[in-house]
Structure 1
Amino acid sequence: MEIDAALSRAKPLGRTQVLVSTISGFLAVEISWLILSVVFIAETPLHHCDVGANTTLPETEDNVYESCEEFVDPEWKNETMACSDGWNYDTELYGRSIVSDWDLVCDKDSLVGLSQSIMLAGCALGAIMSGTIADKYGRRPITIVSLVIFNILGIAVSFSPNYVTFVILRFLIGIVFRGAQLPPMVLLFEYLIPKHRAIVGNIPGVMFSLGLMVMSGLAYLIRDWRQFHALLMAPTIIVMGFIWLQPESVRWLLSQGKYEEAEKCMQKVAKFNGVKDFPSPALKLANRNLEETEVDTKDKKSGGSITQLFKPPTLAVTLITSWLWITYTLVYFGFALTTGTLAGDPYLNFFLSSLVELPARIAPLFIIKRFGTLIPLISILVSSGVCMIAIIVVPDDVADGWLKTSLALLGKFLIVCAFSAINLANTELFPTTLRTVGMGFAQLIGNVGSILSPILIYLDKFVPDLSFMIMTASAFLAAIFCLYLPETKNTVQPETPEDLQILFDSKRLFSRLRKTQPPHDDVSISNNQSKMDEKLQKYKANEEGPNENTMNGINDEHINKEGGGENAGFEEDTQM
């Protein structure tokens, strides 16, 4: 039987899927802590020059001590200079941070942002490295090795003796963690049949937002950055306890031509899911059409080579999904910085800023399940663009600023809604042989948005609302580009670039809106279309229940015993 039929026969939401989704969820919490923990561990507390108890300091217009200046002669108070003997820090609100430990203030205040940029650069580098390695050697090995190294480096950060060591370790952490986080995310989608991908595949996104909410509470309780950072390793340490149970990807094994290993892996999955009398062999290997499934020898040797991302038809997916990630990170961090300016307790503000993400992670699940990926994504991007135009137009003093604050929260809600659709489009459009390296490359390029966002907001001082103008243009362009992509609802994941070409020929949204038909003058395209349709028919038959065609020779006794019994009840109970 085909891979989706085999997964459905082995329980589409069995223990294997629960295990992989649990691993991806914990790692999503970890990545949220890794990226945004800098808000607390590198927060700059109130400070002033250390000049002794009986010496006065220059003050600002708000009657607050100057942070970086002291009087040359305290008696005359007519000339100031830079702090000469260090600083005094108010640790009541933020506690101990890397800023207070290493005096990252005044002429060194840029080092705080630099440390974050270097860490994000490590994440970007790790995304492409881990993608290439995972597509060549498999999802499981790189995940396990990366987790071990990550935990060692993470604990070491808490003992950093100086700023340079801290930055180097955080850079390495960024590289290594992508190797632990990205392959399980891909594996999760590869072990889900199409009808469950939108719901179950969004679990990591929900866990990301929940992780941020939990982190605000932990930061409130633990106001020592060293202890706090050590505690942030908890999710990956927990995952280490059961990561050994994670299977290899059956789809990846098939894409590499390792048919016997794929069959063994499929049998282990069925056994782990508690399925009895699972057919053996389960996968249709002996009669597989060479043109349909056999990977080219050159492709096997190179694994998921990055150069293959720039060959049609994968080139279109690479460019468009990369722009989608740039748009998402640019707008997300733009709104995150805006909501962070709310007055009040910083820990509560961070919690509320994270809370608004939660419904945005959940709502798209049901929308995508009904309407597919592209129409909701385009609608969300256009809506966020309109919201940002409103932010530009509305004066700051309307309703004491609450209207703009509300629009900013709404804008963040909308862009977070886009995450599920963008992520699903990535996993369902890249061919199996290029899926991990493709997602890694797209997210690598997407880091450009997160790096540019604070720079654009800074430039608002010179060109008012420049950041929102660029964010708006980016969102509208992304919506236009999506018209070129194929809709993936009720389709099978492409295993090869040829399968992807079929999707472009038959499912492209722009062509469907124009009500045009795909060309049939090319014999090879017509033949491949027939094969893809056959896969889809088998998938649809499997959705309705096992039958003689999808079981590849399984007799009625097996069908009646397993297809309508325990498995059917399990599947019905787990519908979302």
Structure 2
Amino acid sequence: MADIHADFIIGSDKKSVIWMMLGIIFLAPKTTFRCIQGMENRSDYLNATCYHDCLKYEYFSEFDSSIISEWDLICDRAWLVNLVQMIFMFGVLVGSIIFGFIADRYGRRPALIIASILQLCLSLILPFSSNYWTFIALRFVLGTSSAGLMVIAFVIGIEITGPSKRDIVSSLYHIPQAVGEMIMPLFAYFLRSWKLFSIGVAIPNLVFVIYLILLPESAKWLISVGRLEEAAKVMRQAAKFNKLPTHNMMEVAQSIENEYTMSDNSVKHTKVSYLDLITKPSLRLKNLCSCLAWFILGISYYGGNQYIGQTSSNTFLVILLAGALQVPGLIISGYFYKIFGRKPTLIGFSVMCSVCNGLLAVPDSWLYLKMISGTLAITAATGAFNTMYVYTSELFPTVARNMAMGASSTAARVGSMIAPFIAGLHQAAWLPPLMFAIIPLIAAAVSFCLPETKGQKLKDRLDEK
């Protein structure tokens, strides 16, 4: 039961999260406009040109309506489109903190259920937003719930999965996200208004109701807070489903609790705070480089997706390809960092991302080159992200690992908040590709400052050699 639940939780959550995170591509698609009613009743208004005396604009895109046409987000209001995504990503940052606290204090199950209900209810309410500011407020809260689903689903999936399958679940964690990105253009293709599209991606969230019935609490968390009888019950249910012996589960829970106690005693003299990530010489450089790499990857992945969605002549196809090519990117990166090491893999994918982004500066007439380059850039960013997840967890000792991952993840969220504004630099067509080409090279450069961790024993304490 545990293994099946882990796959189910991770799969359904990641698809929903990516629909919320990248939905802006179809909520605010590439749009041109023309003034059709002005105070001077002129008839010579030019396309995509702003006029101070225009009373009404006409919009042209592949969609019947978008948030751009709904609330006239053009001209001096165009920056409000990017604000939508920035506020959502800020919600993700806040949600990571809030739901992380709830999960550690009150349990993985209640935290995930709260996030799921929020995601379901607010995603169904969002299409009926009466104005822009209501819409953006709902998107902020959806960002917090998306963070809860994303973070807690991974933790509970790992904790309730048996040791023999834990590596597989970890390495396949991002694949449902890629599948979700592949499916998203299908919703947009058949639902050509932002309201119908929003309803379409919200309805599958009804699957979250199943959590109330099937989702068990993490036995590891129950043991960590001393609720051994409940942990033993969960373990008996999992053992029964997997056709394993179900007796003596209380003794097993007690032995695990004793291991936790011994582990705590062995490292109690090396308790670490977030301040130590900056002040300790052994952590400072690693933390700085890791946060910078995550910050850059946040810009590269989320900004790249939004940019190719805005500039492609066939948004549906290019986003579908971007999602499809992430699957081999994840598999190849997992193979590469296992065989060649974390540092070479991170550098290689960062350089590949840079080159592919640079090719996006070619003329629009080079349609297929731009399409292939854009999708490969996303593939490379995904591979780099997958590698960095493993790399960061291995760079830091046990006493500082969770804090280091939290700091790095926060840096990625800040990068994802900035990404829409880089993707929206339309003053010069070559500027966004240039920015997206230079930024990954910085990640490659900082990688040289980090030690290789392939085959190294994970450290537990700061003073461990």
TM-score, with length taken from structure 1? 0.68
2:423 equivalent to 1:452: no
Aligned CA distance change for structure 1 residues 110 and 393 (closer, same or farther; 3 Å): closer
Deviations along 1:135-178, one digit per CA (max 9) or x if unpaired, are 23221111112211222222221111111111111111112232
Alpha-carbon distance in 1 for matches of 2:256, 2:305: 50
Q: Which residue is 1:90 aligned to?
A: 60
Q: Which residue is 1:531 aligned to?
A: none
Alignment of 1:108-123 (within 5 A): 108-123=77-92
Please tell me whether the aligned partners of residues 254 and 262 of structure 1 are also in contact (alpha carbons under 8 angstroms): yes
Alignment of 1:510-525 (within 5 A): 518=465
C-alpha displacement at 1:50, in angstroms? 2.8
2:50 equivalent to 1:68: yes
Aligned CA distance change for structure 1 residues 148 and 404 (closer, same or farther; 3 Å): closer
- SS at 1:219's partner residue? helix
Q: Which residue is 1:331 aligned to?
A: 300
- One-letter code aligned to 1:68: C
2:31 equivalent to 1:45: yes
- SS at 1:87's partner residue? strand
C-alpha displacement at 1:397, in angstroms? 6.7
Q: Which residue is 1:282 aligned to?
A: 252
C-alpha displacement at 1:275, in angstroms? 1.9
Please tell me whether the aligned partners of residues 270 and 278 of structure 1 are also in contact (alpha carbons under 8 angstroms): no
Alpha-carbon distance in 2 for matches of 1:399, 1:345: 13
RMSD (CA atoms) = 3.9
Aligned CA distance change for structure 1 residues 331 and 343 (closer, same or farther; 3 Å): closer
Q: Which residue is 2:341 aligned to?
A: 375
Aligned CA distance change for structure 1 residues 112 and 389 (closer, same or farther; 3 Å): closer
> Aligned residue pairs: how many?
458
Alpha-carbon distance in 2 for matches of 1:394, 1:289: 52
Please tell me whether the aligned partners of residues 318 and 371 of structure 2 are also in contact (alpha carbons under 8 angstroms): no
C-alpha displacement at 1:381, in angstroms? 2.5
Deviations along 1:479-507, one digit per CA (max 9) or x if unpaired, are 224426x4478x7xx8xxxx6228x84xx
Alpha-carbon distance in 1 for matches of 2:71, 2:360: 42
- One-letter code aligned to 1:292: S
Q: Which residue is 1:414 aligned to?
A: 380
2:344 equivalent to 1:344: no
Greater helix content: 2
- SS at 1:43's partner residue? coil
C-alpha displacement at 1:208, in angstroms? 0.9
- SS at 2:84's partner residue? helix
C-alpha displacement at 1:407, in angstroms? 4.5
Aligned CA distance change for structure 1 residues 263 and 147 (closer, same or farther; 3 Å): same
Deviations along 1:231-280, one digit per CA (max 9) or x if unpaired, are 22234320221344222233334444555554444333323433234443
- SS at 1:68's partner residue? coil
C-alpha displacement at 1:288, in angstroms? 4.3
Deviations along 1:458-493, one digit per CA (max 9) or x if unpaired, are 399499665146413322134224426x4478x7xx
Deviations along 1:332-385, one digit per CA (max 9) or x if unpaired, are 2354355446653222222223222222123334445x53xx814532423432
Give the gaps of 5 or more residues in structure 2.
none
Alpha-carbon distance in 2 for matches of 1:167, 1:198: 38
Q: Which residue is 1:209 aligned to?
A: 178
- One-letter code aligned to 1:421: T
TM-score, with length taken from structure 2? 0.82
Alpha-carbon distance in 2 for matches of 1:103, 1:366: 47
Deviations along 1:281-339, one digit per CA (max 9) or x if unpaired, are 22425864854245999999xxx986687686777775554333213212223543554
Alpha-carbon distance in 1 for matches of 2:270, 2:33: 58
Alignment of 1:188-267 (within 5 A): 188-192=157-161, 196-256=165-225, 258-259=227-228, 261-267=230-236
Q: Which moved more, 1:203-212 or 1:270-279?
A: 270-279
- One-letter code aligned to 1:227: L
- One-letter code aligned to 1:120: M
Aligned CA distance change for structure 1 residues 97 and 468 (closer, same or farther; 3 Å): closer
2:10 equivalent to 1:24: yes
Q: Report the identity percentage.
A: 26
- One-letter code aligned to 1:30: S
Please tell me whether the aligned partners of residues 131 and 438 of structure 1 are also in contact (alpha carbons under 8 angstroms): no
Alignment of 1:138-217 (within 5 A): 138-192=107-161, 196-217=165-186
Q: Which residue is 1:292 aligned to?
A: 263
C-alpha displacement at 1:109, in angstroms? 1.6
Alpha-carbon distance in 1 for matches of 2:220, 2:245: 22
C-alpha displacement at 1:117, in angstroms? 0.9
Q: Which residue is 1:562 aligned to?
A: none
- SS at 1:232's partner residue? helix
Q: Which residue is 1:548 aligned to?
A: none
C-alpha displacement at 1:433, in angstroms? 8.4
2:441 equivalent to 1:473: yes
2:330 equivalent to 1:361: yes
Alpha-carbon distance in 2 for matches of 1:434, 1:233: 38
- SS at 1:94's partner residue? coil
